[in-house]
Structure 1
Amino acid sequence: MHDKGLDGQGYIAREGSLGLIPREFRPVVAAARDRLLDVFRSRMTSAYLYGSIPRGTARVGRSDLDLLLALREEPTESDRADARALDESLDKEFAQIDGAGTLLFSRGRLLSDLETYDLGWFVACLCTPLLGEDLAEDLPRYRPDSRLARETNGDLALLLPRWRERIDLAADTEEARRPLVRFMSRHLVRTCFTLVMPRWNGWTSDLKEMAEAFGAYYPERAAQLREAAALGYEPSGDPAVLRSYVDDLGPWLAEEYARVHGVKAPRPD
């Protein structure tokens, strides 16, 4: 048993495993594994699953398939096109999933000093090995401390202008706004959680648990976070929700995050 997602020494325990994949999703994962080998071959050093499928909490017809690949070199446009085609084929073929997404990074970037407490932590703690070497063997163990909080989510102030632009460019329909509500809800709940993570002293990927942990320290925002957690699972297309995120919750959170943990180290991209 893990206490708040930590092992017996207080480090964040790796979540997920191939053994936890629900039976209904095993054919999807098997197909993904085979196609990754066919498409990327020697370009790829590692492939991982992450998200609800390897955690065993995926819902048939509602959850997506999340993959991360470590490539020998920096991803090219050709690599990205191949990944998009792979995602589209899996989504079209398997009704069990509601979309697929593949993240591409070079092995060097994932193991770089700059990414040790962001992408490195993500691979070591939130990703389940599917193919190739496990880069976690070359990464440290992680505690739920302020450095981890800063380097994972301390860039919200930079993201908010991009979010506003995405909202402005989206079609004025429920269908177009729903993915934005889902994405921004999840991102804000996770950022709110990592704000209080060192005080809570643990890790969880459950949005509702994240919202409750946050609400214990910021009760004046607790109801707002509970609603955001619910929308992360069952999004609406309400434009007022999106505006509240970029005009109220987001700016407040960015300022409070910088005050408590500082700002994430700049990235080239």
Structure 2
Amino acid sequence: MDLGPGRRCAPPRFVLRGVSEKNRDGKRTARERLAVEREKQKAADKRRRALIVGASVVCVLGLAAVIGVVAANSGGDDESDSAGPVVAPSGALGKDGTAIPVGKPDAKATLTVWEDFRCPACKSFEQTYRPTIHELTDAGQLKVEYHLVTLIDNGLGGTGSRNAANAAACAQDAGKFAAYHDVLFRSQPMESDDAYADNAKLIDLAGKVDGLDTPAFRTCVEDGTHNSWVAKSHQAFQKGGFNGTPTVLFEGKNIYQDRSMTPAKFKQMVEEANKGQ
């Protein structure tokens, strides 16, 4: 439209507004699509991380299960076969001949103990209950049947549990088991220290027991005379379905797992068992 000299009509404003609104709408739609895509990506990343973590947990649990199975089953028949014939120590008792008795045979109460000479919990039990057990066995009220196992060897590696058990069986041959048993627990190294794998160390500790350090004892220790018997004892432990050491059974009950148990309470139980016979 011509409005006269020097004056022209500007383009209709509604046209400019329409283009601007379309641009804004397009930008808004693009931003929204980008936001949606970002949210989708975040969700996908989250699911992927969850799957990775889940898979890692399963692998760790699976590895733990495998380690548990290996530890539970190691020290079995192969160990017994490789160690030679089974030679039980003098006076061994029980169905499998794996129990070393301490105390008078006609004692009316019996305590059954499964122990590992490398086991810290076993040492703790011995420190706490040793005076009471000695008192009751000396009085003829209690007999103890000790079973020796190699749980720590199987879990941490080494041969200290086996070698110490063999040496204790050699001490049984000499009639010195109880005294040497106590020396081994008093002198117990750290659980991770396989010091009892050294037969020279075991022979040196025998010097703490009067009359034990003899040529016969040394030969028995150095030759591993009772190694296969120790393996057989450990197999009996596994077959018994026990969970750990020490396992301390009195009248069929694992009293070590009883948090209310004390030496005084145990002594009362033994005395009551003697009265009831």
TM-score (norm 2): 0.26
Structure with the bigger RCO (C-alpha within 8 Å, sep 6+) is 2
Larger Rg: 2
